[in-house]
Amino acid sequence: MSIFETIDSCSDCKLVTLLLYLALAVGVYKTTTATLGFAALVADCFLLPAVNFAKYGAAKKAKYWAVVTGASDGIGKEYALQLAKKGLNVVLVSRTQSKLELLAADIESRYGVATQVLAFDVSTDETANYEQLSAVISTLPVTVLVNNVGQSHSIPVPFLETEEKEMRDIITINNTATLRITQVVALQIVATVAGKSVRGLILSMGSFGGLLPTPYLATYSGSKAFLQQWSAALAGELKPQGVDVELVISYLVTSAMSKIRRTSVTIPNPKTFVASVLRSAGRRNGAQERFGTTTPFWSHALMHWGIENTVGVYSKIANTLNLNMHKSIRARALKKAKRDAKKE
């Protein structure tokens, strides 16, 4: 007996039969879209060749420039190194002048490209900083911007116990500074690519903390969710002007921010993570349901797709699991702080 005959035999009521057919159609649709999304994920992460960065101006005889914020350490440093290796000159922006100068010298000696350095503290949100950045890039043909600078909570903390300075710093660094830097640099990118075959690229760092509402990291979670909406909106605005905009979603990466040192299947080091971003720039990977968004590292992509297609990122189940996980992390962090205080 076919499924249609089964439905017809279940009830003589036309309304019930109609509802059963509707449920079948919805089920087929959901199964089809989930299957196609997973197939696209596999293609993006594992099958398609690496993106040729020549379309963003990368070449052996470096002419075009990339701007990287938070460039002195970790993920930002890797972005700078790997973009330089591809043949882009690099403007390095971060807080510590000495670290920037060391990195600039290393990049120039290794890859034979030019560098510029600009040191400022984004948490101050001073207009003079953005004016300095505008002056530095005013004569440079910039095609790439990487918004890597960011801040989270020192440890998971209930929102009602979050210090005002920590809240303000997170919003200023993750949101206000990112938007103001992008406004300065994107104007230069649009001017650079206008009428040329080269395209522009703007990458902003997102997080699973923004993908899923995250209790005990409420301010950070909200700041990254804001970047999701803003980045996707900006992608729509700038695509007709030859600029690709993507929010880059990641789970954990070994870094000073995450306080994790050991790599695993789900926790890559900065070098591996950045390589996955640049390999698939412009593709969605695990973020199949989102425009202007990518979850590039393969295990993160599978996690993103799995959550979205099972419990859902906004579900009570996901929220509760996140709450319990971060409660546990907070408890362990407080115990460690207590032990360390006793040692002193």
207 annotated as a binding-site residue: yes
Catalytic residue selected from 56, 220, 251, 314? 220
Q: Are 47 and 303 in contact (CB under 8 A)?
A: no
CA dihedral 189, 192, 194, 198 (to 10 degrees): -90
Contacts 24+ apart (CB under 8 A), 69-73: 69/93, 69/94, 69/122, 69/146, 69/147, 69/148, 69/149, 69/178, 69/181, 70/94, 70/148, 70/149, 70/150, 71/100, 71/103, 71/148, 72/96, 72/99, 72/100, 72/103, 73/99, 73/255, 73/256
Structure tokens, 233: 């909106």
Give Cα 128 to chain centroid, integer Å: 27
DSSP string spanning 39-108? HHHHIIIIISPPP-GGGGT--SS--SEEEEESTTSHHHHHHHHHHHHHT-EEEEEES-HHHHHHHHHHHH
Residue 63, classified by CB atoms within 10 Å of its CB into exposed (0-12), middle (13-18) or buried (19+), is middle
Say how far apart CA 98 and CA 106 lie, in whole Å: 13
Q: Are 221 and 213 in contact (CB under 8 A)?
A: yes
Instruction: Check if 29 is active-site.
Output: no
Say how far apart CA 72 and CA 84 lie, in whole Å: 14
Catalytic residues: 220
Residue list for the binding site? 207
Residue list for the binding site for substrate? 207
